[in-house]
Structure 1
């Protein structure tokens, strides 16, 4: 990537695989959870300033900012948008099965009812031992012992 700006924990670069003219990437060296307030503010300010610069300098009709975390770093892809540029960020909606939707609605309602009861009856709520959050592994072994990418995490990575 062509580096345009570098700071202690912040980098602004041209994208290696640009989707449109003026595709910029703002990188923070830490993930969002590890950033302090100053680093977070600097990241979002730089992202906003880059979007404004693209809008003004190349005459974009608008910009899209896509923020994601990968490789333990915070990234913002800034895309200059032109009218009829051919980029489509919309997914076709798929109508859900009514029985399955009712089942999901019932389980959500049941969970809300439990939470409301716990809030109204704190003295009757049994204390649970808190367990550490479960981490989804990047790779999982298959039957032959080979490691393969976890398809759940792979689905989250989308190219802008």
Structure 2
């Protein structure tokens, strides 16, 4: 699948507001509003659900700071943080991303949705269909068990030849005690 964002990342065509080894925050070519910033993983991901939890945390950390920068730099009165994830999320490219939009009174952006008038039994049915799948919310994924492979050896502390170090200091003497 072709991804315009990945192509732009590879060609280094994006002007980054912020960038590290995992994420880039940039202003799109056709912003929705002045100050619109997109936070996206550098590695292609179609959906948020495919991204590791620690990376999601990092992406939202960056998005939160981008919102703070917009408040300070543009003196906006609010922000919207919108996640585009998945095929039908109104996204312009097939790449998971977070949009940070500065907001002002009468700025022309309208995110009001028409509310559904659901009967109580319809709402109960919807909730019960997802509730049994929500038990993992808030539970961290366990790290895989197995041997740990190190790239380089861990340096070891060597005990001095005598039981009392040359520069004896009571604050650290317990570190040199032998069992």
TMscore range, shorter length: 0.5 to 0.7
User: For the residues of structure 1 that align with 2:121 and 2:54, how far apart are their CA atoms?
Assistant: 44
Counterpart position of 1:36: 52
Is the alpha carbon distance of 1:94 and 1:72 closer, same or farther for their aligned partners in structure 2, counting shifts above 3 Å?
Answer: closer
**What TM-score comes out, normalization by structure 1 length?**
0.55
Counterpart position of 1:90: 112
Counterpart position of 1:76: 98
Larger Rg: 2
Q: CA deviation at 1:41?
A: 1.8
Aligned residue for 1:64, secondary structure, equals strand
Aligned residue for 2:25, secondary structure, equals strand
Structure with greater strand share of residues: 1
**What TM-score comes out, normalization by structure 2 length?**
0.50
For the pair 1:27 / 2:49, whether they are aligned, the reply is no
Q: CA deviation at 1:25?
A: 0.2
Aligned residues: 107
Listed one character per residue, the Cα deviations across residues 66-116 of structure 1 (whole Å, up to 9, x for unaligned) are: 0122566321111100111121100234657xxxx48746x829x78xx9x
Which consecutive unaligned segments of at least 5 residues does structure 1 have?
116-160
Structure with greater helix share of residues: 1
4+ residue segments displaced more than 4 Å: none
User: For the residues of structure 2 that align with 1:34 and 1:94, how far apart are their CA atoms?
Assistant: 30
For the pair 1:18 / 2:31, whether they are aligned, the reply is yes
Q: CA RMSD in A?
A: 2.9
